[in-house]
């Protein structure tokens, strides 16, 4: 059974930093493309970024609002995905979801999601 479990959310002051983690199991993590998606309270879904697998050079893409402030990384030996968030702003307040982007057969879709972790940026 595929499981994605996020942790690390919490309350942080504007300008502060936080690192989210996502523990993956039930699939070959090292072959997977992994993404972060966020959802502000009462709002829609916003793609944050994605990291490809090593066979695709581990390429990382970011959404414009977080580029230069957020860093996605992975540890394939531990089946862990990370999101380092720096220079946090109030508009970064959201539930952050760890997701797997299925990339075989040319189907690019977010087929598994974690339960989400809430990040609140407030003074």
Partner 1 sequence: DIQMTQSPSSLSASEGDRVTITCRASRSISTYINWFHQKPGKAPKLLIYAASSLQSGVPSRFSGSGSGTEFTLTISSLQPEDFATYFCQQSYNTPRTFGQGTKVEMK
Binding residues for partner 1 (CB under 8 A):
35, 37, 44-47, 50, 61-64, 97, 101-102, 106-111, 113-116
Nearest to 24 by CA among 92, 85, 97: 97
Contact 21, 10 (CB under 8 A): no
Which residue lies nearer to partner 1 by CB, 95 or 121?
Answer: 95
Quote the distance between the C-alpha of residue 116 and its chain's center. 10
Nearest to 22 by CA among 102, 105, 112: 112
Q: Report how far residue 38's alpha carbon sits from residue 117's, in angstroms, rounded to the nearest whole number.
A: 9
Which residue lies nearer to partner 1 by CB, 46 or 76?
Answer: 46
Which residue lies nearer to partner 1 by CB, 6 or 79?
Answer: 6
Quote the distance between the C-alpha of residue 91 and its chain's center. 16
Nearest approach, Cβ of residue 12 and partner 1 (Å): 22
Which residue lies nearer to partner 1 by CB, 77 or 107?
Answer: 107
Nearest approach, Cβ of residue 13 and partner 1 (Å): 26
Nearest approach, Cβ of residue 77 and partner 1 (Å): 26
Nearest approach, Cβ of residue 55 and partner 1 (Å): 18
In angstroms, the first-to-last Cα distance of the chain is: 40
């Amino acid at each position: 059974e595929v499981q994605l479990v996020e942790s690390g959310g919490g309350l942080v002051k504007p300008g502060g930093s936080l690192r989210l983690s996502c523990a993956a199991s039930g699939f070959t993590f090292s072959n997977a493309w992994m993404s972060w998606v966020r959802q502000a309270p009462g709002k829609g879904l916003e793609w944050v970024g994605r990291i490809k697998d090593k066979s695709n050079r581990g390429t990382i893409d970011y959404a414009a609002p977080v580029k230069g402030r957020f860093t996605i990384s992975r540890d394939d030996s531990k089946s862990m995905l990370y999101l380092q968030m720096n220079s946090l702003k109030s508009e970064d307040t959201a539930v952050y979801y760890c997701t797997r982007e299925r990339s075989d057969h040319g189907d690019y879709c977010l087929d598994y999601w974690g339960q989400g972790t809430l990040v609140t940026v407030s003074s």
